[in-house]
Amino acid sequence: MLTNFLSRLLRMVIVMFGISVITFLIFFATPGSDPAARIAGRNAAPETIAAVRHDFGLDRPLYVQYALMMDRLFITRDLTSFANRGQKIVPTIVSAAPATLSLVAGAAILWMALGAMTGIIAAAFRNRLPDKILMGASMMAVAMPVFWVGEMINLVTQSRLHDTWAFSWVPPLGYVPFTSDPAGWFLALVFPWICLALLYIGLYGRMLRTGIIETYQEDYIRTARSKGLSARRVLLKHATRTAIIPIVIMFGMDFGVLVGGAAVLTEVVFGINGVGRLTYQALKALDLPMIMATVLYASFFVVVANAIVDVLCVMIDPRMRRK
Amino acid sequence: MTSVSTDKLPPSPTGEGVSAPDGPWKRLSAGLLSSPTAVLSGIGLILIVIAVLLAPLYANHVAHTDPFRSGLSAKIEIDGKKVPVMQRSTEGLGLGVTPIGPTWSGEYMLGADTQGRDVMARMLYGGRSSLLIAASATMLTLVLAAIIGVAAGYTGGLVDGVLSNLIDMMWAFPVYLLAISLSIVMIGKTIVLGPIELSSSSLIIPITIIGLVYVPYVARPVRGRVMAIKNSDFVLAARGLGVRRHRILLRHILPNVLSTLIVFAPMLTALNIVTESALSFLSVGVQAPNASWGTILQDGQALLYSRPTVALAPGIAIMVTVLLLNLFGDVLRDVLDPKSARGR
Amino acid sequence: MDLRVTSRRGRRGRALARLAITAAMIPAVAPALAQAQEAHRGGTMQLMAVASGGTLDPQINYTAQFWQLYSATYDGLVAFKKADGPESNTVVPDLAADMPTVSADGKTYTFTLRKGVKFSNGDDVTPEDVVASLQRIFKVSSPTSGSFYNGIVGADDCLSSPADCTLEGGVIADADANTVTINLVEPDPEFLFKLSVPHASILPKGTAAKDMGNTPIPGTGAYMFTSYDANNSLTMERNPHFVEWSADAQPEGYADKIEYKFGGTEESAVNAVMNGQADWSFDPLPADRLAELSTNATDQLHVHAQSAWWYAPMNVNIPPFNDVRVRQALNYAVDRNALVSVFGGPALAQPVCQILPPDFPGHEDSCIYTQDPGDTWSAPDMDKARALVAESGTKGEKVNVVTEDNAASRGVGTYLQSVLTDLGYDATVQTVSGDIQFTYIQNTNNNVQISVTQWYMDYPAASNFLNVLFGCGSFHPGSDSSINIAGFCDEEIDARMKSAMTLGATDPEAANAEWAKIDYAVMEKAPAVPLFTPRRLDLVSERVGNFEYSSLFNWLIAKSWVQ
């Protein structure tokens, strides 16, 4: 168990190290990425740029710069941004994390609940009208670009129908911290949650339906039915439980990626200052320290989610142990 | 933005017996033809492809316009009157210029965009780029994933360890950084590789980037599949009988991998269409004045409140195409791989 | 990091609103007015922006977004008058009690400080604070340290080793007389302008000589920063130690508190202002809302002229634009009216074909590149353009236009690509993120042929456009900071600009007449395509009253009320 844990840890470090090196190299290989002139300001004199370059250590060899950056990111934690001079990276990410977590956690509850409902109902009414309607809707949900849905939602709720009774309660876009105003937090997140969850409701609902139908045909379910258990009991208790295993696995991975910042489009469209939007802005400004930090932050969650999923798999079904 | 973990699923029993090379293909066509969903969605997809291929015909003979040329001073005739395409606001403070809305006739059927260009004509040309990018990226993904997956799964050991780490890295890697970087590297440059000419306006950049995004997504299940077959009783028995490694690879493993890849193809193409629009949303996709559904969507955003059609049209086009691809893909998977049908 | 990322739309003077404001400023109607003003005092002003402006350090920050706030939080020795319209271009004494006495040779400025002015931490403003602040400009490598303040005696040493900056002999404090004397190497007619911008803010002498980042530095203005989180919000409250000493230099504000939220999108900011959830948004209004707003919100919109231009610099050192005929051809071919459409119509942009913006010192109407050359632009002359291209023999060459990734810049770039194609070139457009594009197009190593960019004035002097953008001194091959993007260096014109600057010290009017000729001479060589003069458009909520606009700081937030 311990060796397993240690090898996982080692693998995680390797992956994160690799990603940080590649990110670093891509940055310096990009023409126009040199931040000195951007930090110095428009029409700065050559002397000023030289001073800034020296100040930020940009005149040192690449491997020294890399080591310094890692040191300031993980050890002294005082790494500052290239784009917003003086903005400290670590506290910025720490303060952005709750917004992303609120968005993703809420959406996850929504998609798990609605996804499960969709899947179970569709399986119960297999090949009949409710199934067809639900599966059609799921496919539509999967087929729509998330930012497009978001923009359409904003168009309706913030402008076109904002003055009607239906949407007059919708607050302006942006994140309201839970600690300062729980009701405002909830209202501000209602539509972002729906928008983000839509895709996953579709995916999970379809997957659950197929899973249930498949397990329905397996032997022990037939046994349960022949023993005279009611159809509903079999569906809810046995079939759903087995079919939900792959969903739990998928959930772990999706959740990890999203918390790490993959909800960027939803965050950008709804103006939520989360980790994803931070990554997006850092990329647009080619702000290396912020890119580095957000990328490592994201990869950490991806790798951890991968590890948890692997452990879960073995726990649920020992047959899945890696050979 | 989602992930699969199909490699953790129990090996599929169908993987063991498929050996006759023409068996699955016959079953495939028969299976597809017997499903009305597959036939209808297939016809729908073919119609879309034909429509976008006819784009020049439409632009020249119906819309009478060059969809890549700014038409800021253009005028069109409506009810015998010459009307400017870019309409300056005359009421109130007179701020703003609004492009003409849908005319529902030959010229400017869906209205104009912020450059006064015909949106319908651009939709058709844009569809070409979108479909071409999505399809090429899918091919790229499948080839790369197959190589990585088979190498990792079949060789095992150190190679597997290295490749698995590589897959993890790719999955966690900020692809948009690569996209932005590549697009800057390519500014004003032309790289000639034999018959292929790469320039900043070519579609190679979005294809490469989108092609890389989903490699881990496919490589993992391929690796799982290969490992499962490698360790199946059937193959173990064959090896016991002294059948050579490359023969096992060719006869047993590759056909199975191929069916996994075919299952992924429509779904990946669908995902890629959506990813292309996301890349354009971040301005690193197809470069102006070329169009793709993603760039039209981006243009449409700037007109969302005054001319929502410009954003609605590509959104709907993407939705319909993706829907058809998924419907078709579902049937395809059921036919090829009935047991491992896990919903995607 | 620079002004041009920011303000993009302006306003046309609305006579009624302006009349009301003027009336409010006349002291004769004082008693009733004072009462009315008292009633407007108080409340919280809610501002919005998609992103923050970066560091809060006034000697480093170079964004229009935060300069606007500095106008109410920090003071220099002198300041631009906090007034509406062209008056805002005049310099008035601020922390100095009067305008400085200048020596006959124009090299020595002596300022007498006002008595009793305090920083928001309660300390008095002393001559030592002034010396420390001017040294700090160099110690923190302020963006303009090498371009604005390099004329001070001792500045060269400060630039080469910032940490040991003393400005020995350049800035001399006399605590007993309460004066500060500044010595220049050469007379500089623009020096007082340079002392009026936020980089020359006077800060407490103990302020650390490093970028203070998100930590507020005490200032002397009517407001002080009380909290700042670059990813979230900023708060300004009344400075408890502030007593109004000059309404022209630093007026007392109406609102008790100013809250600035960062996040959201441009569209959502408009919605928030229209729904009464915010008072104003910094970002340019989305083009698709203009028509709707100009009928629904006529009283909430304010359009103002800006001293700025949108232009397309052409690299005069690489093909095809190393041939003057090609540059002239493009100037003839570009339909400025079409570009005005891209930018939101004639109310928001004015076609131009010269460098100095209308109403700017040294501007004289002239247009060489139009159908009937004369004072103003009328229509493109495609025949002439095609003839020039044919003459140059460059037809069919590849041309790439580099634009920023916002809607307006991309629109302009796409249009230019279309025109270049019409002229027979193999043209493409490349969009690059705005933050990177500006430095990318400056570096000659990137071989950018033509790009789309803007320039907003730092202070109202013709040299700030002509000498900065087309002088040999601002061309640095291989550097990311080479603001002469066209790489245009004409020795004869450069010498004329130098003498015009010297002339400005003694005879500003004659100098401006000479600048007008220089403008014409540069345009004959056509290193850039002037596109249009943008106007700034502000949308405020219904409750905002007394909107005043300064050319440098945009909306003077402190002078408006919310109740």
Tell me: the pLDDT tens digits for A75-102? 888 888 887 777 888 988 998 899 999 9
Report which of residues A238 and A203 the model is more confident about.
Answer: A203
ipTM above 0.90, yes or no: no
For an interface test with B, the pick among A11, A15, A198 (most B C-beta atoms closer than 10 Å) comes out as A15
Taking one residue from B and the other from C, the number of pairs with CB-CB distance under 8 angstroms is 154
Tell me the one-letter amino acid at C39: A
State the Rg of chain B over Cα: 24
**Inter-chain residue contact B72 with C341, CB threshold 8 Å:** yes
CA angle C227, C233, C234 (to 5 degrees): 40
Q: What is the per-residue pLDDT for C499?
A: 93
- Chain C contact set for A189 (CB, 8 A): none
A44 close contact with C: CB closer than 8 A = yes
Residue B204: CB atoms within 10 Å? 20
| Least confident among A128-137, B4-13, C454-463 | B4-13
Mean pLDDT within C335-343: 90
Whole-number pLDDT of residue C34: 65
Of residues C363, C310, C327, the one with CA closest to residue C487: C327
pLDDT at B77: 80
pLDDT tens readout for residues B243-302 = 777 787 777 788 878 888 888 888 889 889 988 888 887 777 787 778 899 999 888 888
**For residue C120, what pLDDT is reported?**
94
Q: Which chain C positions have a beta carbon within 8 Å of A173's beta carbon?
A: 263-265, 268, 271-272
Q: Per-residue pLDDT averaged across B220-242, rounded?
A: 81
pLDDT band at B142 (very low <50, low <70, confident <90, very high): very high
The pLDDT of residue C21 is above 70: no
Q: Nearest-CA residue of chain C relative to B189?
A: C400
Q: Is B218 within 8 Å of B264 (Cβ atoms)?
A: yes
Q: Is the backbone peptide bond immediately before B289 cis, with ω within 30 degrees of 0?
A: yes
pLDDT higher than threshold 70 for residue B6: no
The β-bridge relationship of strands B86-88 and B97-99 is antiparallel
CB-based burial, C87-125: b 16+ in 10 Å, e otherwise:
ebbebbbbbbbeebebeeebbbbbbbbbeebbbbeeeeb
Question: By the CB < 8 Å criterion, does A98 face chain C?
Answer: no
Domain ranges of chain B: 39-57+118-336
**Which residues of chain C does B287 touch, with a Cβ-Cβ cutoff of 8 Å?**
428-431
To the nearest whole angstrom, how far is the Cα of B332 from the nearest Cα of chain A? 15
The pLDDT assigned to C9 comes to: 32
Query: Please, what's the b/e burial string for C502-526 (b: 16 or more CB within 10 A of its CB; e: otherwise)?
Result: ebbbeeeeebbebbbebbebbbebb
Mean pLDDT of chain B: 80
Average pLDDT over residues A241-261: 78
List chain B residues with CB under 8 Å of C303. 93, 95
pLDDT band of residue B344 (cuts 50, 70, 90) is: very low
pLDDT average, residue stretch A229-241: 69
Structure tokens that stand for B266 in this block: 């429509």
pLDDT tens-digit profile of C138-197?
A: 999 898 998 899 999 999 999 988 888 999 899 999 999 999 999 999 999 899 999 999
Task: Pick the residue of B214, B280, B319, B334 with the most A CBs within 10 A to test the interface with A by mutation.
Answer: B319
Q: Which of residues 131-150 of A touch C (CB under 8 A)?
A: none
Q: What's the pLDDT tens digit per position in B56-112? A: 898 888 888 888 888 888 888 877 788 888 888 877 788 888 888 888 887 888 888
Under CATH, what is the fold of the domain B39-57+118-336? MetI-like fold (1.10.3720)
Q: What's the rounded Cα separation, in Å, for the pair A122 and A132? A: 8
Mutate which of B66, B70, B203 to test chain C, going by most C C-beta atoms within 10 A?
A: B70
CA distance A57 to chain C (A): 15
pLDDT above 60: residue C496: yes
Asked if B89 and C417 come within 8 Å (Cβ–Cβ), the reply is no
pLDDT, one tens digit per residue, over C231-252 is: 889 999 999 999 999 999 999 9
Residues of B in contact with A250 (CB under 8 A): 2-5
Distance from CA of A184 to the nearest CA of C (A): 13
Q: Which of residues 249-268 of A touch C (CB under 8 A)?
A: 268
CA atoms within a 13 Å half-sphere pointing along the CA-CB vector of A272: 33
The pLDDT value recorded for residue C2 is 38
CA-to-CA distance for C290 and C311, rounded, in angstroms?
A: 23
Residue A323 above 50 pLDDT?
no
Confidence of residue A16 (pLDDT cuts 50, 70, 90): confident
Q: Do B1 and A155 touch (CB under 8 A)?
A: no
**What pLDDT digit, counting tens, does each position of C97-150 carry?**
999 999 988 899 999 999 999 999 999 999 999 999 999 999 998 989 988 999
Contact A36 C480 (CB under 8 A): yes
d(CA A111, CA A142): 13
Overall average pLDDT of the A261-281 stretch: 87
Interface contact C145-A285, CB threshold 8 A:
no
State the pLDDT confidence band at C330, using cuts at 50, 70 and 90. very high
Of A144, A200, A283, which has the smallest distance from its Cβ to B176's Cβ? A283
Q: How far is C80 from chain B (nearest CA, A)?
A: 30
CB C216 within 8 A of CB C102: no
Instruction: Supply the pLDDT for residue A11.
Output: 81
Residues 6+ apart with CB under 8 A from A5: none
* B326–chain A Cβ distance below 8 A for any pair: yes
Least confident piece of the model among C62-76, C81-95, C263-277, C534-548: C263-277
pTM of the model: 0.86
The two tokens of residue C155 are 């500045």
Task: Give C373-387 pLDDT, tens digit per residue.
Answer: 888 999 999 999 999
In percent, the amount of chain C with pLDDT more than 90 equals 65
Does A308 contact chain B (CB < 8 Å)?
no
* Mutant choice from B93, B177, B182, B201 vs C, greatest count of C C-beta within 10 A: B93
Q: Is B8 near chain A, with CB under 8 Å?
A: yes
